[in-house]
Amino acid sequence: MKIPYLYLSILSSASFAAVLWSVPLIAIGAAEQYPALEIHGFLYPNACAANVRVELQNSLLKLDIKEADKAWQIIDALICAPRNESTRNAVRVVMAKRIKEDFASTGDLPSFEMVVPNAQIIERVIRDGEAWKAQVRKESDNVIVQYFVDEACVRDVTLRYFKSKWLIYGIGMACD
């Protein structure tokens, strides 16, 4: 059972102003609620553990991007917000009209397609605390957040600053 969440209204763009975005506030001692993931004998920290969230946010701030606080709100909500209607609506608002979806698996050639975001895609990107060893990096005009979802698969979400707001422009998955 997850710890209780407090909700904040976050306004990340003009079009987002009417949507209540649920962002979890993690209590001290929440490490038990967000256990590490063991992969091949290594422990990977849960991205929602309080100290890991702070490290991830600091990594994002070091990227020297526009409105890093708004990019952080999206990243934190994708990784740690509860899987509920409020979060789904908030994610829907920050998705581009078409996104690039990448796939890769051991032994197969990587592939991608351009898709219109739907309920299934939105559900996949909301992790509800099930993300490990999260990292952020900047590539050209994009910010990429990457994390493990289990022992075999890594996912990523690509954010791009467009027309004065951050949007989700891509998602990817690679599995062994």
Count of CB atoms situated within 10 Å of the CB of 3: 15
CB 77 within 8 A of CB 21: yes
Report the pLDDT value the prediction gives residue 25, as an integer from 0 to 100.
42
Report the pLDDT value the prediction gives residue 37, as an integer from 0 to 100.
87
Q: Residues of the chain whose pLDDT is less than 70?
A: 1-32
Q: What is the pLDDT of residues 20-68, one digit of tens each?
A: 333 344 444 444 688 888 888 889 999 999 999 999 999 999 999 999 9
Closest C-alpha among 142, 28, 50, 49 to residue 96: 142
User: How many degrees, rounded to 5, is the angle at CA 83 between CA 117 and CA 122?
Assistant: 5
Report the pLDDT value the prediction gives residue 13, as an integer from 0 to 100.
38
Report the pLDDT value the prediction gives residue 36, as an integer from 0 to 100.
86
* Pairwise CA distance, residues 166 & 157, whole Å: 12
The contacts of residue 18 (CB under 8 Å, 6+ apart) are none
Task: Could you please state the CATH topology (level 3) that the domain comprising 14-175 is classified under.
Answer: Nuclear Transport Factor 2; Chain: A, (3.10.450)
- Starting at the edge strand found earlier in the chain, the sheet holding 153-162 runs 111-115, 95-105, 165-175, 153-162, 142-148, 132-139
Rg of the chain's alpha carbons, rounded to an integer? Answer: 16
40: left (phi over 0), alpha (psi -120 to 50) or beta: left
Report the pLDDT value the prediction gives residue 135, as an integer from 0 to 100.
97
Amino acid in position 141: D
User: Residue 168: exposed, middle, or buried by beta-carbon count in 10 A (0-12, 13-18, 19+)?
Assistant: buried
* Pairwise CA distance, residues 148 & 140, whole Å: 23
Side-chain half-sphere CA neighbours of 54 within 13 A:
5
CB 28 within 8 A of CB 82: no
Report the pLDDT value the prediction gives residue 32, as an integer from 0 to 100.
63
